[in-house]
Amino acid sequence: EAQVTQNPRYLITVTGKKLTVTCSQNMNHEYMSWYRQDPGLGLRQIYYSMNVEVTDKGDVPEGYKVSRKEKRNFPLILESPSPNQTSLYFCASTGASMNTEAFFGQGTRLTVV
């Protein structure tokens, strides 16, 4: 079954404590992206990756890091989380063809206190 898997689904952490949200896809997709969803703001792209070792900033990259060492994995790293990073995060993957549907993970609800 085609899947994008994010972990954890829910996370409460304290300001400044480094955390990683994992994302894995089983479709051999080239593209992977991270979005954050906030009420009234829709989904905003944080980072995206067009292939292994190729990443680029989205619209709201400050405070986040990513890496793409393997095609299937695209972790999101918050080195020093702050309360304004409390949000719902989605990972997505898609193939290079325009006819390939984007698949989204189930989301990670992060609360930073």
Partner 1 sequence: AQSVTQLGSHVSVSEGALVLLRCNYSSSVPPYLFWYVQYPNQGLQLLLKYTSAATLVKGINGFEAEFKKSETSFHLTKPSAHMSDAAEYFCAVSDHGGSQGNLIFGKGTKLSVKP
Cβ–Cβ under 8 Å, residues 58 and 44: yes
How many helices (DSSP H) and strands (DSSP E) are in the chain? 0, 11
CB of 96 to partner 1, least distance (A): 6
Q: What span, in angstroms and rounded, lies between the C-alpha atoms of 69 and 67?
A: 6
Closer Cβ to partner 1, 42 or 62, answer by number? 42
Map tokens 């290079």 to a residue. 96
CB of 74 to partner 1, least distance (A): 12
CB of 10 to partner 1, least distance (A): 11
| Exposure b/e, 52-78, CB count within 10 A at least 16 = b | eeebeebebbeebebbbeebbebbbeb
Closer Cβ to partner 1, 31 or 64, answer by number? 31
Closer Cβ to partner 1, 50 or 52, answer by number? 50
Give me the residues that bind partner 1 (CB under 8 A), please.
4, 30-33, 35, 40-45, 48, 50, 58, 90, 92, 94-102, 104-107
CB of 69 to partner 1, least distance (A): 18
